[in-house]
Chains A and B, each alone.
Chain A
Amino acid sequence: MLITKLSNFLENVIESISVFFYMIFFIAIFVQVVSRYIFNSPVVWSEELARYINIWFVFFSSSILLKHGKHLSVDLIDKYLEKMSVKVRVIHSLILNIIILFLVSSLIYGSFELVIETWSIELVTLKMPRGLIFLSLTISGCFMFIFTLENILKDIIKFMRGGDN
């Protein structure tokens, strides 16, 4: 299916970027420690860079976790659902995904407001717009929205087929 292909492509792109962020984060912390303890002249930008790139990394990776339903949950209900018909299971998953879609929309809207509000303020050491911090949530929120929509679509197709796979 075209949608699956597109979404897998998007996933690969996001994952590569988030691993890249993870490495930048690691290097930034490393630079901070080395500059402070070995060269005795702490680099000023490293702490801010590490903190903010970490936010980007967490949100980007979270969107992929959402695609695969890998976010931690209390799976007490799963045992009962297993015994139910496929339709019940699909409806359950549909309800959860719609709730998530609503929450993600709220996060996108709220973080976009913050981006506009804080874009003109500069970060102390990085000299970049403060809005960049919140932009991470806006962008990853959109990814989360897309992936959740995909999951909802899959649920609907499953439901239409009456549950056989």
Chain B
Amino acid sequence: MALFILIIGLIFLLIFGLPVAFGLILSPTILLGIQRGFLELPHSFIAQRVTYGIDNFTLLAVPLFILVGQVMNSSGITNRIFDFAKTLVGHMKVGLAHVNIIASLIFAGMSGAATADAAGLGAVEIKAMTEEGYDLDFSVGVTAGSAIIGPIMPPSIPVLMYAILANVSATRLLMAGIIPGIIMALALMLYSRVVGAKRNYPVQKKATLQEFISAFKKAFFPLLTPMILIGGILSGIFTATEAAAVAASYSIIFFLIFTNFDYKELLRVIRKSAKLSAAIMFILTCAQLFQTMVIRSRIPAILTEKISLLSTNPYIVMLLIIFALLIAGCFMSTAVSINILTPVIVPIIIQVGIDPLYFGIIMIVTLMIGQLTPPFGMVIYAIMDITDITFERLVKNSLLFVIPIVVVLIILIIWPGLVMFIPNFV
């Protein structure tokens, strides 16, 4: 009964087009109404859950991470990062694909959302690759694939949302993403080398030491942002929120100097970040009302019982859940999937003895695959906006780059130590 109203009811409401946040309030409200009578609805309980959902110190990192990503994206440093990556790996075979991926990896250290990476840096990457004679199909594929490193590497909005809902340490979960993020970059590089080898793309000259130093100098101040963020969290000096605050202050100062004190543009970026942050935090707070009702109704326990009829082997349970997540990821954006599914799935995961921290990375990587597939691949739409490629061609090529990501997912499932190494170390 509760399962039906909360989960099926919510899915129905969302498909009908109700904004996710309100769906997350309505389905618990209907359940409460049925349990206690619609005239006796506990309005103050609902309002209290919805308000206290935001009252969380970890959550305060969300607007700050968004601010850092937006400010760095608008300061026009994307070219410098791209040029720096070029001096590092540009001379390899299928060089610009590697440059694209390395630049995305660096940018992933400043930005926590895949779409921002695809839209900001993606434009620079695709333009450069086209100029050098790479065909558009290949370029958009590499750009789409490398954009989803963003939410795996810290900073990351999906990681924060998961950490809050699954009640795991945000700092440790952020750190857990570092190695998988790097593996993802390596897998994408290897894959594009194999795919691109047949196509005879031009090879760049190896950069001289001088060129490297000059590119490094230009990229130095932007590169400090990920250093502050990742270094601050990794060294244990700062909490995620504090590191985000320091990085945000730094990026604003950097932005002002770099753009000759363009206050107007800064205000525009701040306004945009404010709206993005509010939208995400509003869903997150409503998700916590939903979570309270999911747990009260013992839905995870009921589902665990059902799954245990199939199998009690943690690997098989996890594979079943990953399969479900892959489907969900195709139909919902990452933010929505995390908010709806984390409250339901994480208790099941804990029940079968899997570390929720480890599972967080697996879940986010799985959901990222959905970003590359229609109908809700936000990355696809972001790239659609910056190139004039047809939707079908774009989808075909971004789907090709799902392959290396799936391989990474399998690697992470086989060797959980890759995820847990850094968080266990600290």
User: Interface on A for B, CB 8 Å cutoff?
Assistant: 15, 18-19, 22-23, 25-26, 29-30, 32-33, 36-37, 47, 50-52, 54-55, 57-62, 64-66, 69-78, 81, 92, 96, 99-100, 103, 106-107, 109-111, 113-114, 117, 133-134, 136-137
Interface of B, helix, strand, loop or mixed by DSSP: helix
Report chain A residues within 8 Å CB of B55.
Answer: 51-52, 55, 133
Add 14 more A-B contacts to A22-B270, A103-B26 (CB < 8 A). A26-B63, A37-B237, A47-B57, A51-B55, A61-B279, A71-B279, A73-B18, A92-B17, A96-B17, A96-B18, A106-B43, A110-B43, A110-B47, A113-B47
With a cutoff of 8 Å between Cβ atoms, the chain B residues found around residue A107 in the complex are: 25, 43, 46-47, 50
Which of B128-136, B242-250, B346-354, B361-369 is near enough to bind chain A?
Answer: B242-250
Q: In the complex, are the beta carbons of A58 and B285 less than 8 A apart? A: yes
Number of interface residues of B (CB under 8 A): 58
> From residue A84, how far is it (CB to closest CB) to chain B in Å?
13
Contact across chains for A26 and B245 when beta carbons are under 8 A apart: yes
The stretch of B117-125, B176-184, B332-340 in contact with A is B332-340
Closest Cβ of chain A: how far from B280's Cβ, in Å?
8
- B279 touching A70 by the CB < 8 A rule? yes
Q: Helix, strand, loop or mixed for chain A's interface?
A: helix
Query: Could you tell me if A23 and B44 are in contact, using CB atoms closer than 8 angstroms?
Result: no
**CB of A41 to closest CB in B, whole Å:** 16
Is B357 an interface residue when CB atoms closer than 8 A count as contact? Answer: no
B22 within 8 A of A: yes
Interface contact A54-B282, CB-CB below 8 Å: no
Instruction: Give CA–CA (A53, B281) in the complex, Å.
Output: 13
Chain B nearest Cβ from A106, distance in angstroms: 5
Across the two chains, which residue of chain A brings its CB closest to B271? A19
Q: Is the CB of A134 within 8 A of B19?
A: no
Q: A71-B21, A96-B17, A136-B51 are in contact. Are A110 and B333 (CB under 8 A)?
A: no
- The closest CB in chain A to the CB of B15 belongs to A76
CB-contacts of B244-297 with A (<8 A): 245-246, 248-249, 267, 270-271, 274-275, 277-279, 281-283, 285
Most B-side CB within 10 Å, residue of A29, A65, A136: A29
Using Cβ atoms and an 8 Å threshold, which residues of chain B touch A55?
51, 54-55
Residues of B within 8 A of A136 (CB): 51
Known contacts A71-B21, A78-B17, A103-B29; A29/B41 CB under 8 A: no
6 A-B residue pairings within 8 Å (CB atoms): A29-B60, A71-B282, A77-B16, A114-B48, A114-B51, A137-B50
A134 near B63 with CB under 8 A, answer no
B43 adjacent to A109 (CB under 8 Å): yes
- Rounded to whole angstroms, the CA-CA distance of A165 and B14 in the bound complex is 26
Select which of A59, A64, A74 is within 8 A of B332 by beta carbon.
Answer: A74
